[in-house]
A and B are shown apart, each in its own frame.
Chain A
Amino acid sequence: MTQPTKSILLAEDDRFLRRACETKLKQAGFDVRVAVDGEEALAMAREQSPDLLLLDLLMPRRDGLSVLATLRGDPKTKGIPVVIMSNSSKDLERQKAASLGVVDYWIKSNLSLQELCDRVSQLLQPRK
């Protein structure tokens, strides 16, 4: 009856947002790892193949779209479900993300932590 704990990789450079998300998702029972920039996100995604990657776009060293494109180009990582979590609402970035295949695109400031957590839970629910 018990399901294996779902793993989430959270790539977020802002330490306040990172702390808030990490705390909330852990409280909800997820296995949460964090990456503070694009390079780290890429390395950790390759290593652990998370059940979900929550990916910020504007990050040091490597931006989120580049991380996404690299993951999609590698057969081992191209299946990782990715949700973009950004505060940028530029159409061009949405389009690029969509063309690389993402589950969803969320604007952080429009979500409460609870809503964020609910959406993640819904995504990671086993299919009936």
Chain B
Amino acid sequence: MATPADDALADTVREHDAALGGLIRANPLAILVVDADDRVQMVNPAFETLFGYREAELVGHPIDAFIVPHTLATEAAALSRSGFEGRAARSITQRRRKDGSLVDVELTVVPLATTGHAIGAYGIFRDMTEQKRAERHLRAQYAVIEALANSSTIEAAAAWVLRAVAEAVDWQVGAMWIVDKTANRLRCIDFWRAAGVDATAFERETRDSQFVHGVGPGRTWEMRDAAWIVDVTAEPRFSRRSSAAAAGLHAAFSFPMLLDGEVVGVVEFFTSRVLQPDPAILEMFAALGQQLGEFVGRTRAQEQLEHFFTMSGDLLCIANFDGYFTRVNASWTRLLGYTATELLSQPYIEFVHHEDREATAVVAASLQRGDPLSAFENRFRCKDGSYRWLQWTATPRLDEQLIYAVAHDTTDRKLLEQQTMETLKMRNDFVSFVTHQLRTPLSGIKWMLELSNDTPDGAEKASYIEDARESADRLIRLVNDLLDASRLESGKLQLSLEPVDVREVTDAVLADVATLVREKHHTLDVQSETDVPVAMLDRQLMGQVILNLTSNAIKYTPPDGRIEIRIGTRGRSLYWSIRDSGIGISPDAQKRLFEKFFRADNAHTVDTEGTGLGLYLVRLIVDRLGGAIACESVEGRGTLFHFTLPMTAGDPQ
């Protein structure tokens, strides 16, 4: 029964409502008014929009039945109670829309009371969807960034990333897939599920599966874009649907991990609810996909650098400011023969050639002051005791107290430089020597002619002219020898091959030197084996070899000496030898006997006018004809020269 007082109260409320009505209806916040029995008195248009109910559907009914999720019934009751007890209350919570979806709201309950007597309550709902989403996004972002920062590979980061994302969107299962470029397939690298979710079979199937382009997570790979499945158990194309159903999973979304527009992996999430595509979620994780792709790119770059470091043919290393290597690549072992452990276990200066240590210490000090280094060279000792020349480029990092250095093995180049220098020096020496050798007979000719000019005495005049002529002969011989040597050295000398009887050539030479042999009272003994075949040789060159060897034997054998010449065959080769009882050749001189311009010390005492070209020419000619020459000698006792030649010049013996 309504009392007049109650009527009066109801009037008051109505007046109050009338006064507030306009304000409530026009309010952008969703506002609900309930009476003392917690039945809906009115909702404003913003409420209708937020929850999807028409005001007429709700008026007169308890509101909780419509918009409070089961799980939040207790919380909702507590809020109502507080309103009816005259206390305002506020909660960040969730309410259900007419379509069943949940909406994040900030709910403020304001008591509606007259003279301390509760006659109803206002519920003011602020839509928190965007804010919540932003918060979750931020939280997920932060968790992902943290996971990536603490991991060196995507494999190590995967579990953390999946968990952060799944928790942020309140989904229960996540899996990460990486594109295996070799197999051209997606391979699962990690799987995460929320506590309390039984997804054993689904996890096993996921981990064991590989997908090609366009299939399963491969669709995301193909589309390069996020994808959404409302219910995987109702999707025929979803191959894992039975195990997913067993795990109670329904909606799924996936997004690509993108690196420079290329898909390097796919992340997928599953939830136990059947859910329509949520563009906000898809959009939110597009950015995350980019981030994960770039991380993969960075770790790949890291791997590439690592590969580069390992495979480089140059010597790469990192050294600390205490003078130790902290890292060396495989080239060090390859080049120097030490293991990495051996290289790292003692100060690097210990490996440096002692002559280069001071300079090395100077550049190390300069590096430690922050100056980069380039083109510095020093020698490093190999394990076998030999040394290699290394050319260094290095950069210090003062903040890390480390030196990053590259060394290049320049040993071969150094050797070449040295050889070039030696060749140049030899050339200079040669030019000086030849200059000297040419000037001497020239001076002789000039001075002898001058003396001859100065004297009226005919006999004296003739004697000077004779000496001038002899000097001229020497000059001509020298020039001819130099030209022959030069032609033989350059290989430009054409052989003129003809059948040559070596005995005949020997006899011809002996006829030319017969006077000299007689003057020194030498005994000459020439013997040839029977049936020495006629050989295809260059007659003139053969003559020169025999002449040079014979005149040496005559010259370097004291008077009354004995000279033996033997001609025969050795195997299929021609053999020729000459033995004298002369001054002999020291062992040291024997080693250098066939070098250009070399003259043994004891040769000078006998003949000061030799050019040092005779035996050199002999060797060049024997080489040119394809033969070999050798010398045996004992100082003071005598010398034996012998050579062999192929029967046809140039043939192998």
Q: Identify the A interface with B (CB < 8 A).
A: 13-17, 19-21, 23-24, 27, 36-37, 58-61, 86-90, 107-109, 112-114
Contact = CB atoms under 8 A, between A and B. Distances in A.
B601 A17 contact: no
Given A14-B609, A60-B601, A87 B467 contact: no
Nearest to A86: B436
B470 interface: yes
A112 B449 CA distance: 10
B604 A60 contact: yes
27 contacts: A13-B608, A15-B609, A16-B441, A16-B448, A17-B444, A17-B447, A20-B450, A21-B447, A37-B608, A59-B608, A60-B605, A61-B601, A61-B604, A61-B605, A86-B436, A87-B435, A87-B439, A87-B440, A88-B432, A89-B432, A89-B435, A109-B443, A109-B446, A112-B446, A112-B450, A113-B450, A113-B451
Contact of A108 (B443, B454, B470): B443
A14 B608 contact: yes
Nearest to B463: A19
Contact of A16 (B436, B447, B454, B601): B447
Contact of B436 (A58, A61, A114): A58
Interface string B602-620: 0011001100000000000
Contacts of B467: 16, 19-20
B608 A16 contact: no
A109 B454 CA distance: 19
Interface of B: 432, 435-436, 439-444, 446-448, 450-451, 454, 467-468, 470-471, 601, 604-605, 608-609
A113 B467 CA distance: 15
A109 B601 contact: no
Given A14-B608, A19-B467, A60-B608, A109 B439 contact: yes
Contacts of A107: 439
Nearest to A87: B439
A114 B450 contact: yes
Given A14-B609, A61-B604, A61-B605, A20 B448 contact: yes
A87 B467 CA distance: 19
A20 B601 contact: no
A108 B435 CA distance: 12
Nearest to B431: A90
A37 B436 contact: no
A90 B432 CA distance: 7
Nearest to B609: A14
B447 A20 contact: yes
